[in-house]
Amino acid sequence: MSEVEAAADRAAPAFRLDGRTALVTGAGRGLGRAAAIALAHAGADLVLLSRTKSDLDEVAAEARAAGVKAQVAVCDVKDGAAVRRLCMSLDGLDIVVNNAGGNIPEPFVDVSEEHLDQILSLNVRSVFLVAQAAARRMLEDPIRKEQGGVIINMTSQMGHVGAPNRTVYCMTKHAIEGLTKALAVELAPHNIRVNSIAPTFVETPLTATFFAKGDFRKWVLDRIPLGRLGRLDEIAAAIVFLASPAASLMTGTSLVVDGGWTAQ
């Protein structure tokens, strides 16, 4: 066996997540659903969290078909007490994908205080609360101390650049990039890695209505050097990588999956 073949044999198991439990927020649709299914196929048991039980039930059924356990948790991530109760009720917690979030595109001068508070609460406050509750649960478990924990925050390419009509969204995603770095430094001595995923535009049920507008689609594609939108499976693969032992030396960084948008 050549050195290359030996390295490949060693690398394959490093991407497996067997015996680990992953909590995914916003797991019922879009990126959250794709992440959950990818984690399941890598061997992780799942705790699926969102506000819509029917969506979660569908994802749970697909995950169980892949041979893993899947628990459904109907919960609003903005409810800190509910998030804390959920995390402390789990038998164990190894991986968190902090995915729930939203956007209301509009001109800066037209942003209402209601919209400002809504997006700040969902995109920043809830991410902080989920990460905090998850870290507390991980720190209480000596097995997780030895094996290590993982927190993955979903940000965006807009956490690295600016764009018109997205002032609040950009602000919140920049905030989570900063939170990711601070958490990584503080939790590293406890063997908990914290990273972010920063995708470009991905066509999902949430974004489909935006891309139906030809001028917006052209504006996006003109700024992606690879010339196409991202795919759900490409973002999910990056999440599995960061969650796995293959990324064991990575913490405090942002994995930018943007087709080259931020390279310009």
In a domain, 230, yes or no: yes
Asked if residue 1 belongs to a domain, the reply is no
Q: Give the global pTM.
A: 0.93
Helices (H), the chain: 3-14, 30-41, 53-65, 80-89, 113-120, 126-139, 142-147, 167-187, 208-211, 214-221, 232-243
pLDDT at 6: 55
53 inside domain: yes
Within a domain: residue 199? yes
Q: What is the mean pLDDT of residues 129-146?
A: 88
Say if 264 falls within a structural domain.
Answer: no
Residues of the chain with pLDDT > 90: what percent? 86
CB 99 within 8 A of CB 35: yes
Q: Is residue 176 part of a domain?
A: yes
Q: How confident is the model at residue 210 (pLDDT cuts 50, 70, 90)?
A: confident
For 11-70, what is each residue's pLDDT tens digit?
A: 567 899 999 999 999 999 999 999 999 999 999 999 999 999 999 999 999 999 999 999
Total domains in the chain come to 1
What does the buried/exposed string (b/e) look like for 179-215 if buried means 16 or more CB atoms within 10 Å of the residue's CB?
bbbebbeebeeebbbbbbbbbbbbbbeebeeeeeeee
What are the beta bridge partners of residue 98?
153
Rounded distance, CA 142 to CA 120, Å?
Answer: 34
Asked if the model's pLDDT at residue 217 lies above 70, the reply is yes
The CATH number of whichever domain residue 164 belongs to comes to 3.40.50.720
pLDDT of 263 above 70: yes
Residue 189 has pLDDT above 70, yes or no: yes
Residues of the domain holding 243:
14-259
Element (H, E) at 194: strand 192-199
| Residue 5, domain member (yes or no) | no
pLDDT band per the 50, 70, 90 thresholds, residue 10:
low
pLDDT digits (tens, 9 = 90+) for 74-121: 999 999 999 999 999 999 999 999 999 999 999 999 999 999 999 999
Structural domain includes residue 65 = yes
What are the residue numbers of the active site?
A: 169, 173
